[in-house]
Structure 1
Amino acid sequence: MLHSPTAAAGDGAVALRDQVELLVRPGRQCLVPGAAEALLRAEAGSGSGRIGKDTVTSAAGMRAVTRAASRDASPPPLLVSVNQEGGRLNALDWPQVAQLPGSMALGAAGDAALAQRAGAVIGGQLRAVGVTWNLAPVCDLAAWPSQSAVGTRAFASDPAQVARLAGAFVRGLQSAGVAATAKHFPGLGGVAVDPHHAAPVVDELPTGALLPFRAAVQAGAACVMVGSHTVRAIEDRPALASRRTIALLRDDLGFGGLVVSENLSIPAVHEPLGGLAHAAVAAVAAGVDLVMLDSEISRGHQTHPQRVAAVRRRGDVVQALVDAVEVGLIGRQRVAEAAARVLALHHRFGIGPGAALPDWAAANEEAHQVADQVAGESVTVVRGAHLLPLVLAPGAMLAVVRVPDVGQRRADSARHAPDLLPALLGAGYPVLSLPAGGDLPDNVGAVVVHGYDTRTGAGHRSGAAAEAARLARCHQVVQIAFGDPDDLAGSPADVLIAAYSPHQGSAATVSRVLSGHLRARGAVPVEGAGW
């Protein structure tokens, strides 16, 4: 942590600290009162500023929490952030919440009007539970093979297509009263390692990488998140601490909204800059308006000592920023302009006492409908369309083999989605669910091999493709990728299907395609794909 002489007490010192407090998220407000939060405040001197999904376990619970917090909050209006991208990353992933297939499915559908509607219904769900800041959409370019940090979170690999869909998604999301955040500027295209686990460095941006961000800005995106990767052609420094990168966003793209950092609490993000507090100072000094230590809605259980440590780390970051101003590393005007942008976001999108929220049931039902529509327009038969529908001989069984996930991607909640395919196929076929690697009974007429994330690394055949190869010697095999489509690469399966999402709408669409009740209409939106 940076140190400086103790500031004299007075209005100026108080005003400075108040401004700095606005620049660090999560904030200090107690969002879920109770004994645990009271103990935390007594021990660490502050509330956690977070909503834990181990205690808030439903949309109704979230709505009650944010309503209460908006009544109890002093100005500005309550503003709660979340990652709700659709597809791979959804913080609101309770069973009753309709999950949309996500960006690459929208890319496979190729319809900007559908992308705008998807943004609008996600926004409707969020606003109905009092959450009005979404850290989406991803404006990065997809690649082949997929990048572990991006994959199906990206719309496509073609910059013009990504720009068209990202701009539409932004318009839809903000039409529902939810702030959009274009990320991860200046683009993760070409980054080979996951920024959640390592510090990526590339020499230059891929052609067209800035085009989607320009489209998001032109669509009125309230926020842009700057990534932690280094692009040497711009500046040999992590983007979120690079004055030249942020000047590119402000001056070349004309962005006047809130610039947000990537999650600084991730060691791979803050360690290259000397630790959490130093990274925060470097980011704000470079032009970032708000440093994100995490969103307000957290997954998983944290022990009391872990929560105390997180609150104290936040306090260290606030103090480091105050100290940096006092010693001249950050100008007071820089802090004042950043705080003004944060307050403007609160007043534009936050909810105050008595704010009207949409009806949850209606918003969620509309999301179900749009999820089904996106799935119906996106599921792609990559090979073997002439072999569909699947027809079994009398008395034959359809074996359904799920290959276990191997991915360790931090930015992924969909890997916990239930396996819906066997039950859906069971409505039309006699189904036998079997583990990978086992022998098949003699009465099996065809095999469906599926998985979500079964590829151990670039250049390796996925586990699902290997299982398809083993079984294809004796059986007709269909392989389905419910995650990144490169799970299909190198597979000898007779039929290859890319679904882009494991959620209900996509699984149901795949079932209907296999049974002949629906013709697949999607196209893989990633150049360089090989099967």
Structure 2
Amino acid sequence: MIRRTGGPADLPALRDRIELLVRPGVERLTPGSPEDQLHRETGSGSGRVHKDVITDVVRLRRATDMAVSGSARPLLLSVNQEGGRLNALDWPEVEQLPGGLALGATASAEMAELAGSVLGGQLRAVGLTWNLAPVCDLADRPSASAVGTRSFGSDPEQVSRLAAGFIRGLQSAGVAATAKHFPGLGGVRADPHHFASVVDRLAPGALEPFRAAVEAGVATVMVGSHTIREIDSRPALASRRVIGLLRDRLGFEGVTVSENLSIPAVHEPLGGPAAAAVAAVAAGVDVVMLDSEVSRGFQPQAARSAAVSRRQQVVRALLSAVVEGRLSRERVEQAADRVLLLQKRFGFAPGTVRPDWAQANAAARAGADRIAEESVAVLRGAHLLPLTTAPLAVLRVPDTRQRRADSAVHAPDLVPVALTAHGPRPIELSVGCDVPEGVRAVVVYSYDTRTDKDRPGAAATEAGRLSGRGTPVVHISLGDLDELSGSPADVLLAAFSPHRASVFAAAATLLAHGRPRGVPPVGEQPW
């Protein structure tokens, strides 16, 4: 329903509608003195769950319960909980799911639906009912730094099936899904979190996963910040042509969301966060994101205050744009009505029954184990498995931590523990060390050590140093398949995730059953 009202007396109502379009909101979600100080300084809550204060699931449930009781509308909080590499809820008690590429290695829409369902159960149990997932971008070779293991793979048909399955599972659990980053990051080499990315054309098949997402009933779609010259000279989130593809060609009727406008590489091409927000809403974006509602770690008080001030500037800019005729009132009303429908469908209201956390997390643990066992892939040397030699030596090559959005780098090192479940505890080596006498095989493992697409990563180099000395070398990648590029190891194994389920499944493949079930979901691998 479009409301056509105007005039100075109507400005408060217009402002209320605009407030719906800017995320995070203004709720006081984090108890304590920093939030109280922030409210005194800015007159607003931060709209965020700050993980330096809310440090576990119990505190999070308590905070969302309080927010629901004090909210005039159903509470709808967003979070980045994709599984694998990107998980805002990365506390030790939260079972982490393997990510998109692991699901791609299973080639199973059933596994993707299971992942969405159990992940949704975890989120709904703690009061978070909008997940900024799944990634529907196609994977590339070599891997694009912004995508990597977040993608389901490189084949449009398979990615479409898995994305649709994940969305069905997530939304059946009562959590809104978000297909991202429309119209697809395939072909984007530079990380859009660091650089304003421009490509000449869409990758072949790039729209197909988004079409499948729409057909699966996805609630929201995130529009990327990259520019596709064959469509428009403007970034996608500020392009009427790009959003027209989504609305008119794919038939999407839900909520469109912008990429995070607080990132300089996203907002600078459009003149700053406020100008970018106006351009995005004018182009057809319904919600402008300045971040999700769950922080990824500690923020100084000054940074919190700056974030609230930035949000207030965005709201004022949108209000001024309507008053000055640069943005139509009808566009704002259309967007606000869509947001209210999303809140009504997925939001928490007082009295809403939540799943039990312990049961939801146990279901996620069982689901993670199933997915991990189905996803481990051996790219070389399967005939050598299971390893029957002992003792083993293990060597972890440290991560480079180049990726901006990556919570998995904080995962504990479980490889020695997982291997010990099947035999004597392995001897732990350091980079550059020689293999001790009596060691019958060396396991080199890594997560993110590649810094140059034209050269092997540090882990592959270390595997090369140890190879050819008469001791079999196994190289395990706990992250992207590119970790294994150029590695001469006798056995190449991809676990796709450093989290518990994937690490233990990799160990079982190496030392117990030797039957890898996964298939690499990215083509053109140079093994």
Amino acid at match of 1:39: Q
Give the TM-score, by structure 1 length: 0.97
Match for residue 435 of structure 1 among 430, 436, 447? 430
Which residue of structure 2 aligns with residue 73 of structure 1? 71
Which residue of structure 1 aligns with residue 505 of structure 2? 509
Judge conservation of contact 1:228–1:262 (CA < 8 Å) in 2. Answer: yes
Which residue of structure 1 aligns with residue 487 of structure 2? 491
Say whether residues 1:33 and 2:19 are aligned partners. no
Amino acid at match of 2:299: Q
Residue identity (%): 62
SS at match of 2:190: coil
Which residue of structure 2 aligns with residue 148 of structure 1? 145
Match for residue 113 of structure 1 among 110, 113, 116? 110
Amino acid at match of 1:460: R
Alpha-carbon separation, structure 1, partners of 2:308 and 2:83: 29
Judge conservation of contact 1:407–1:455 (CA < 8 Å) in 2. Answer: no
Say whether residues 1:223 and 2:217 are aligned partners. no
CA shift for structure 1 position 33: 3.0
Alpha-carbon separation, structure 1, partners of 2:424 and 2:375: 24
Alpha-carbon separation, structure 1, partners of 2:82 and 2:37: 34
SS at match of 2:505: helix
Counterpart mapping for 1:78-477 below 5 A: 78-392=75-389, 397-427=391-421, 428-474=423-469, 475-477=471-473
Displaced runs of 4+ in structure 1, greater than 4 A?
none
CA shift for structure 1 position 301: 1.0
Judge conservation of contact 1:407–1:456 (CA < 8 Å) in 2. Answer: no
Alpha-carbon separation, structure 2, partners of 1:327 and 1:180: 35
Alpha-carbon separation, structure 2, partners of 1:430 and 1:77: 52
Cα RMSD of the aligned pairs, angstroms, is: 1.1
Alpha-carbon separation, structure 2, partners of 1:518 and 1:119: 28
Alpha-carbon separation, structure 1, partners of 2:33 and 2:217: 42
Alpha-carbon separation, structure 2, partners of 1:35 and 1:498: 46
Amino acid at match of 1:223: T
Amino acid at match of 2:488: P
Amino acid at match of 1:45: G
SS at match of 2:181: strand
Gaps of 5+ in 2: 1-5
Alpha-carbon separation, structure 2, partners of 1:36 and 1:381: 49
SS at match of 2:94: coil
Amino acid at match of 2:438: N
Alpha-carbon separation, structure 2, partners of 1:195 and 1:210: 19
Match for residue 474 of structure 2 among 459, 466, 478? 478
CA shift for structure 1 position 28: 0.8
Alpha-carbon separation, structure 2, partners of 1:430 and 1:250: 57
Alpha-carbon separation, structure 1, partners of 2:452 and 2:54: 36
CA shift for structure 1 position 430: 4.1
Amino acid at match of 1:275: G
Match for residue 40 of structure 2 among 25, 42, 67? 42
CA shift for structure 1 position 305: 1.2
Q: For each residue in 1:172-230, what CA deviation from the matched residue of structure 2 results, as whole angstroms up to 9, or x when unmatched?
A: 00000000000000000010010000011001011110000000000000000000000
CA shift for structure 1 position 9: 5.0
Alpha-carbon separation, structure 2, partners of 1:426 and 1:456: 31
Alignment length (residue pairs): 520
Alpha-carbon separation, structure 1, partners of 2:444 and 2:31: 47
Q: For each residue in 1:411-439, what CA deviation from the matched residue of structure 2 results, as whole angstroms up to 9, or x when unmatched?
A: 21101101100111123134101111122
SS at match of 1:235: coil
Alpha-carbon separation, structure 1, partners of 2:33 and 2:95: 32
SS at match of 2:473: strand
Alpha-carbon separation, structure 2, partners of 1:265 and 1:258: 20
Judge conservation of contact 2:475–2:492 (CA < 8 Å) in 1. Answer: yes
Alpha-carbon separation, structure 2, partners of 1:492 and 1:33: 53
Amino acid at match of 1:359: D
SS at match of 1:15: helix
Alpha-carbon separation, structure 2, partners of 1:501 and 1:61: 27
Which residue of structure 2 aligns with residue 3 of structure 1? none
Alpha-carbon separation, structure 2, partners of 1:369 and 1:404: 29
SS at match of 1:130: coil
